[in-house]
């Protein structure tokens, strides 16, 4: 068996070598010649798995150590018998803590308390549900928008336009597909309070860069169109700007590596179906009060410092992302 692994995926080095020939490549350097004889690809978002890469290959399984799958042509994979596994939910707590750090900075800058603000959550899956849980406990009025869940479950999910009109802060946690591409556009922004805040920690293409550059709202952005060649006007405008690291916690990365290794173990009957990195201690979810969170969060997730670094060293976007020191989850 031959496995090609994105070299930026942590904790996985040496784990599959006893069972397979393993090659490591930078995410953008997977080539058709490398892939042709591979059985498994372990990737991140930087590797586009489509016909151009996969045609004529022996690939049987693609395991992406990410929650999203917009970099994989699922139709092509299905038509050619290639199983696709994602690490859905792996970094939910990491993104929660990035959002919490964002809310703490906004509160300090603008002088409000949670009971004085309405938080809109667009996309209430693994990440959005966790944000909702903690936001309600902190005292925010929470509005939810999730059309697929509304269709399946009913409930109090609202149309996007209503959430945009009512929310002081709106945070996006949607996958990227044809229904969410440029979900944040001129027309949606026009519905929002002009002094509100837009948070995007989903995918860059969920928002129109052109529309964001014209917006009067505060912008808190972790994901960008055309990464790593991000728009400098948008970078300059953003209140918070980070290099696609919202989910970059030690536990989130360990979860992702564990999920993909276990998927491979199950597919190929390897004795790794319970594997988890020994170097990382799993997080025990626990409540934390608003004031305690605001006092402690910068020690773990200092977004003000990370924003300064990205604005000063934007040409190093990819290096800042790949070399980011994974923070520890603590709630």
Domain positions in the chain: 2-86, 92-246+290-322
Question: Which of 46, 117, 144, 203 does the annotation list as catalytic?
Answer: 203
pLDDT digit string, tens, across residues 65-124: 999 999 999 999 999 999 999 999 999 999 999 999 999 999 999 999 999 999 999 999
pLDDT number for residue 29: 96
pLDDT above 90 as % of the chain: 99
Q: If you ran DSSP here, which 8-state letter would residue 20 be given?
A: S
Question: Which of 83, 110, 227, 328 does the annotation list as catalytic?
Answer: 227
Mean pLDDT of the chain: 97
Cross-strand pairs, 171: 121, 199
Catalytic residue flag (residue 80): no
End-to-end Cα, the chain, rounded Å: 40
* 3-state SS assignment for residue 22: strand
What SS3 string covers 118-149?
EEEEECCCHHHHHHHHHHHHHCCEEEEECHHH
Residues in CB range of 154: below 8 A, 6 or more apart = none
pLDDT number for residue 283: 86
Catalytic residue flag (residue 21): no
- What is the CATH code for 92-246+290-322? 3.40.50.720
- What is the CATH code for 2-86? 3.40.50.720
pLDDT digit string, tens, across residues 230-282: 999 999 999 999 999 999 999 999 999 999 999 999 999 999 999 999 999 99
* 3-state SS assignment for residue 42: strand
284, pLDDT greater than 90: no
Buried b (16+ CB within 10 A) or exposed e, 80-103: eebebbbbbbbbbbbbbbbbbbbb
pLDDT above 70 as % of the chain: 100
pLDDT number for residue 197: 98
pLDDT number for residue 212: 98
Catalytic residue flag (residue 203): yes
């Amino acid at each position: 068996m031959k496995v090609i692994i994105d070299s930026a995926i942590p904790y996985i080095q040496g784990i599959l070598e006893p069972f397979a020939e393993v090659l490591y490549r930078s995410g953008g350097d997977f080539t058709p010649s490398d892939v042709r004889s591979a059985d498994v690809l372990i990737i991140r978002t930087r590797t586009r798995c489509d016909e151009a890469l996969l045609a004529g290959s022996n690939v049987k399984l693609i395991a992406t150590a990410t929650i999203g799958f917009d970099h994989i042509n699922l139709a092509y994979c299905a038509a050619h018998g290639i199983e696709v596994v994602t690490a859905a939910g792996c970094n939910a707590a990491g993104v929660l803590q990035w959002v919490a750090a964002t809310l703490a900075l906004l509160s300090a800058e603008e002088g409000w308390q949670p009971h004085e603000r309405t938080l809109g959550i667009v996309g209430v899956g693994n990440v959005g549900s966790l944000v909702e849980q903690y936001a309600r406990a902190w005292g925010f009025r929470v509005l939810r928008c999730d059309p697929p869940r509304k269709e399946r479950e009913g409930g109090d999910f609202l149309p996007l336009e209503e959430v945009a009109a009512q929310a002081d802060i709106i945070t996006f946690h949607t996958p990227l597909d044809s229904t969410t591409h440029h979900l944040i556009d001129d027309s949606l922004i026009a519905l929002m309070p002009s002094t509100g805040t837009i948070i995007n920690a989903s995918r860059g293409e969920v928002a129109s860069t052109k529309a964001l550059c014209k917006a009067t709202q505060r912008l808190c952005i972790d994901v960008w169109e055309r990464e790593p060649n991000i728009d400098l006007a948008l970078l300059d405008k953003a209140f918070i700007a980070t290099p696609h690291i919202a989910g970059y916690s030690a536990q989130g990365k360990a979860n992702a590596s564990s999920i993909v290794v276990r998927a491979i173990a199950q597919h190929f009957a390897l004795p790794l179906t319970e594997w988890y990195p020994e170097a990382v201690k799993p997080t025990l979810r626990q409540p934390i009060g608003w004031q305690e969170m605001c006092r402690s969060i910068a020690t773990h997730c200092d977004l003000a410092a990370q924003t300064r670094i990205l604005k000063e060293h934007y040409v190093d976007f990819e290096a800042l992302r790949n070399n980011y020191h994974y923070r520890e989850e603590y709630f």
